[in-house]
């Protein structure tokens, strides 16, 4: 998409553009036979994603760290949509123990799983380690979602086989994946404070989201699994994700106001990739404004994607089990 398209909202090949809202891109879609998990669904574009999926009659599980906020979000949705099917489960993506507990809680619901939207994240936070000893942005934005996805794969595969309905996994990345460390991923220094940059660490984690999606997509294609995996950049939106850099973002917005979206516009690409029939069979792609876009060279590197997959597996395996 060109800067002109971003500013004007001019639609791309999909028929949608930067000005399209989540409701507009899913208009007329009946998702009543679908179950979805949305991480970070208690606020921002995650909440709007849950609301619109529920509006299209999907059964949606809000996976959130803050249960008070998640339950408030559920009540907000039910206030306007009394028939909405929304459940709330606790999930702290920075803790592998919490991820495993969430999957146990979800499996106890005994429901299918058609859609997994890996939406939650942290941004530009000061250096800190997760409970598992991993740099917080990498732990939350990538490793937590990597483990969550792997633990839910059998459920998604079984659902796709038994229903004949294509499963979909959506990783929320960012245009910030272009601004990462020199070699893309600091494999040998993932959790080192030395040389840490909050901006580059965020870019690294968002690059990891794309590489994860691409490698998982490749594996599904090799196995003939009826599940697609794509990544999206939602656009520039002022949300709680920016709590560590709110002042900087507000100043930046003054000079780039024409590039920013509101929350309904920010959730549009996620909802489009998760629900729209035009995306049937489309996998391993990166999307902006509901249209495919070529990501960075690092993000297209299949060797790097495989290396990250193996590295992530080792991190998960070496972490203390509950």
Lowest mean pLDDT among 75-84, 116-125, 244-253: 244-253
Cβ proximity of 124 and 174 under 8 Å? no
Q: Which two tokens stand for residue 101?
A: 């507990």
Q: What is the pLDDT of residue 171?
A: 98
Cβ proximity of 59 and 112 under 8 Å? no
pLDDT band at 11 (very low <50, low <70, confident <90, very high): confident
Share of the chain above pLDDT 90, in %: 86
CA distances to 37, 53, 130, 166, 215 from 144, in Å: 14, 23, 10, 24, 16
Is the pLDDT at 190 greater than 90, yes or no?
A: yes
Q: What is the pLDDT of residue 223?
A: 97
pLDDT band at 201 (very low <50, low <70, confident <90, very high): very high
Lowest mean pLDDT among 44-48, 228-232, 255-259: 255-259
pLDDT, one tens digit per residue, over 82-107 is 999 999 999 999 999 999 999 999 99
Give the DSSP H or E segment for 134. Answer: none
Distance CA 170, CA 178 (A): 19
Catalytic residue set: 196
Q: Which domains are assigned to the chain? A: 3-316 (3.40.50.720)
Three-state SS for 121? coil
pLDDT, one tens digit per residue, over 45-66 is 999 999 999 999 999 999 999 9
Angle between helices 44-55 and 268-275 (to 10 degrees): 40
Residue for token digits 């709110």? 246
Is the pLDDT at 237 greater than 80, yes or no?
A: no
Distance between alpha carbon 271 and the CA centroid of its chain, in Å?
11
Kindly report the average pLDDT of the chain as a whole number. Answer: 91
Task: Classify the phi-psi angles of 64: left when phi > 0, otherwise alpha if psi is within -120 to 50, otherwise beta.
Answer: beta
Average pLDDT over residues 156-182: 97
């Amino acid at each position: 998409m060109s800067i002109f398209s971003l500013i004007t909202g001019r639609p791309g090949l999909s028929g949608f553009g930067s000005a399209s809202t989540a409701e507009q891109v899913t208009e007329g879609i009946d998702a009543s036979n679908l179950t979805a998990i949305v991480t970070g669904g208690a606020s921002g574009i995650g909440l709007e994603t849950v609301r619109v999926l529920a509006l299209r009659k999907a059964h949606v599980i809000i996976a959130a760290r803050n249960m008070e906020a998640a339950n408030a979000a559920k009540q907000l949705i039910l206030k306007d949509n009394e028939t909405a099917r929304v459940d709330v489960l606790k999930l702290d993506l920075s803790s592998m123990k919490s991820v495993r507990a969430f999957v146990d809680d979800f499996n106890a619901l005994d429901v299918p799983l058609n859609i997994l939207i890996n939406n939650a994240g942290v941004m530009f936070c000061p250096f800190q380690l997760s409970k598992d000893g991993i740099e917080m942005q990498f732990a939350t934005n990538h490793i937590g979602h990597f483990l969550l996805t792997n633990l839910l794969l059998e459920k998604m595969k079984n659902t796709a086989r038994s229903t004949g309905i294509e499963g979909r996994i959506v990783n929320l990345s960012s245009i910030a994946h272009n601004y990462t460390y020199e070699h893309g991923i600091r494999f040998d220094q993932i959790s080192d404070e030395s040389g840490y940059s909050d901006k580059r660490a965020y870019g690294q984690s968002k690059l990891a989201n794309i590489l994860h999606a691409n490698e998982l997509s490749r594996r599904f294609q090799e196995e003939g699994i009826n599940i697609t995996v794509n990544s999206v950049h939602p656009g520039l939106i002022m949300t709680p994700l920016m709590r560590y850099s709110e002042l900087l973002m507000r100043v930046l917005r003054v000079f780039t106001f024409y590039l920013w979206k509101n929350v309904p516009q920010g959730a549009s690409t996620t909802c489009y990739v998760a629900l729209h029939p035009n995306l049937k069979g489309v996998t391993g792609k990166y999307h902006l404004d509901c249209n495919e876009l070529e990501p960075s060279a690092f993000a297209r590197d299949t060797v790097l994607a495989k290396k990250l997959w193996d590295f992530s597996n080792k991190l998960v395996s070496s972490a203390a089990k509950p």
